[in-house]
């Protein structure tokens, strides 16, 4: 949406996760601010996916996630869209590289 995420500058992107999809535990180097645009954003913190650690955020909610924080997402109740604001370069490292969908 704004900026060049691969560059060392501010950026804003939107992320849509289809209903039922999970993003397994991962980290970002950069601090991130998520704003829930639509749906319910379920996010949990930790190195292992644990449904009991999920917190639900409705549209309009803001979530601040410091860089290096292991976390996971689940579109548990349907599709969601979040807007991510951060300072690049954008990063995404899976805790377990076998869960990285970019490698399949």
Write out pLDDT tens, residues 64-86. Answer: 999 999 999 999 999 999 999 99
Which residue, 13, 19, 70, is CA-closest to 40?
19
Under-50 pLDDT residues of the chain: none
Verdict on whether the full-model pTM lies above 0.85: yes
Query: Measured between alpha carbons, how far is 94 from 101 in angstroms, rounded to an integer?
Result: 10
Query: Measured between alpha carbons, how far is 43 from 3 in angstroms, rounded to an integer?
Result: 25
Q: What tokens does 36 get?
A: 């829930």
């Amino acid at each position: 949406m704004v900026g060049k995420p691969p560059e060392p500058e501010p950026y804003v992107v939107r992320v849509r996760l289809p209903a039922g999809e999970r993003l397994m535990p991962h980290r970002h180097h950069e601090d991130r601010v998520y704003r829930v645009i639509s749906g319910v954003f379920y996010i949990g913190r930790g190195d292992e996916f644990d449904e009991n650690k999920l917190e639900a955020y409705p549209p309009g909610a803001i979530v601040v996630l410091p860089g290096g924080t292991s976390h996971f997402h689940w579109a548990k109740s349907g599709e969601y869209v979040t807007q991510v604001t951060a300072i690049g370069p954008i990063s995404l490292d899976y805790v377990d590289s076998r869960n990285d969908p970019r490698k399949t």
